[in-house]
Chain A
Amino acid sequence: ETGVTQTPRHLVMGMTNKKSLKCEQHLGHNAMYWYKQSAKKPLELMFVYNFKEQTENNSVPSRFSPECPNSSHLFLHLHTLQPEDSALYLCASSQEPGLAGEEGETQYFGPGTRLLVL
């Protein structure tokens, strides 16, 4: 049982569609992350949010647009994606280290959304 949930678990979309991925954490954390997991490549950090504020954008194309309305929810809005964007998108959360020390730096992952762009 994971404290981080993601919906949908699978998504197929055309290149002209607009869709959103949702992540919710039930761990009382203050930091949330989006990662991309492509075949045969390491997990790539996309975005980091601390206390709802974006603190990291790892050179992600603007067709990916994150939103963090509160510390428990994180969205990834998708529009005009390309077939090479097909991947597993993982959400993670962690405490903020100033509050929790070592535990603050451990990230907990959701099950992911498997995205196929046609």
Chain B
Amino acid sequence: AQSVSQHNHHVILSEAASLELGCNYSYGGTVNLFWYVQYPGQHLQLLLKYFSGDPLVKGIKGFEAEFIKSKFSFNLRKPSVQWSDTAEYFCAVNAGSFQKLVFGTGTRLLVSP
């Protein structure tokens, strides 16, 4: 069965620190990859997505993610975090069946001012 692993459940950073959140998936075929963010009290919002083409994807709010097929990874990065980036981040994959999004357990990011 497909699965998505997010290695860090909780991350605490100071403002201006660099961020990298790990995401690995288990599926050998063609995948579509997503990062969603859930700010406190708000709904899940799409940060970025990868379908094809350039494996380095840029999203909103300065986030980017790199698809490394050989490592089955889609890590999320931001060079300098802000207090407003405090949120929970979810990696998701659809593979095989386009409507079956498989989510990771999420990573809670706390950015201290």
Does A90 sit at the interface, judged by CB under 8 A?
Answer: yes
Q: Which of B14-22, B76-84, B97-105 contacts A (4 or more CB under 8 A)?
A: B97-105
Given the complex of chains A and B, what is the CA–CA distance between A114 and B92 in angstroms? 22
Which listed residue, B42, B45, B90, B94, touches A105 by the CB 8 Å rule?
Answer: B94
Which of B51, B101, B102 is within 8 Å of A107, CB to CB? B101
Complex Cα distance A112/B34, Å? Answer: 19
User: Is there contact, CB below 8 Å, between A106 and B103?
Assistant: no
| Chain B residues closer than 8 Å to A56, beta-carbon distance | 99-100
Taking CB atoms and an 8 Å cut-off, the chain A residues in 74-118 that contact chain B are: 90, 94, 97, 102, 104-112
For residue A40, which residue of chain B has the nearest CB?
A: B105
Q: Considering only CB atoms and an 8 Å cut-off, how many residues of chain A contact the other chain?
A: 26
Which secondary structure dominates chain B's binding surface?
strand
Residue in A closest to B105 when the chains form the complex, CB atoms: A42
Chain A residues near B34 (CB-CB < 8 A): 106
Given A42-B4, A105-B32, CB of A31 within 8 Å of CB of B46 = no
Interface contacts beyond A40-B105, A104-B98, A111-B42: sample of 8 additional A-B pairs, CB < 8 Å, sorted by A:
A2-B43, A4-B43, A42-B102, A50-B99, A55-B99, A105-B51, A109-B36, A111-B43
